[in-house]
Amino acid sequence: MLAPHPGSLQIDATLGGGGHTERILEAASPDGRVLGLDADPAAIERTRQRLARFGDRLVLRQANFRDLATVAPAAGFGAVDGVLLDLGLSSHQLADRERGFSFRTGGPLDMRFDTARGEPAAALLARLTADDLAALLRRYGEEPHAGRIARAIVAARGAGPVDTAERLAEVVASAVPRRPGPPPRIHPATRTFQALRIAVNDELGALVAVLPAALDLLRPGGRLAVLAYHSLEDRIVKRFVAAERRGCVCPPVFPVCRCGRSPRLRPVGRQPTVPVEQEVAANPRARSARLRVAERLAA
């Protein structure tokens, strides 16, 4: 769907473990180039070593993709043929016990993609009121038991800080009412962890910033591909593509277009594309993936 080709310039704005970048470089051989971005310095260094064989065809920058509009031109990628966004966090981050991204691996409750910037999740939990915390869980986690969980966290703070992934998961599980029958497939703390991670890294704000920046960098015929893993992300991408497909922003009451804005994107393929059963069986983490792809139209 991204359609890399020899000589093309591509941007993988969510480098992670470098898997997508590796496939793009192979498809764009012998002279296609990729700019890889990641806010996590560990991801940059890991991929630099693993993909060293591609030499100067791979350009790496530690940066949040919200800064794409300035980082890409400065790296020589001012006009490109493709931009890929694989949203959320990587398997490497999920497995890192020093970051607290997952209740399964545990560890200090940090959750920052770039540990040199921003506020750790533990600090956020320590200062928010129950009302503010409940609002956060509803907004970013779509958590139906947000009020109960928020009150439980605030109560737990009286006995000591909620500063590890294990402790937070324990508090959330104790607050969520249990239904009769077999245990649920999804851990009761899943939405809480998602909401905190999104808030700590301002992921939705970054997504809103990067989409128009990516579009401005694309040459006519270039493609924007976005993998989203929950409805909040996917809704933002869906609405952005729909607006750029429509072009005109005049009120419906206007008999003719007065803004003069032309469509800039056309969707490519099924919207969204979802994983087939065989892929989910081989990689359960792919089960919620939603891929949307759009092509840049001539200006």
pTM for the whole structure: 0.90
Judge whether residue 182 has pLDDT over 90.
Answer: no
CATH no., domain 9-92+203-296: 3.40.50.150
pLDDT recorded at residue 120: 93
pLDDT in tens, 116-132: 888 999 999 999 999 99
Instruction: Round to whole Å and give the CA distance between 174 and 162.
Output: 14
Q: Could you tell me the residue ranges of all domains in the chain?
A: 9-92+203-296, 97-201
Are the CB atoms for 115 and 49 separated by under 8 Å?
A: no
Q: 248-277: string of b/e by CB count within 10 Å (b at 16+)?
A: eeeeeeeeeeeeeeeebbebbeeebbebee
- The residue-averaged pLDDT of 70-91 equals 93
At the topology level, CATH places domain 97-201 in DNA polymerase; domain 1 (1.10.150)
Query: What's the Rg (C-alpha) of the chain?
Result: 21
pLDDT in tens, 205-256: 999 999 999 999 999 999 999 999 999 999 999 999 999 999 887 888 888 8
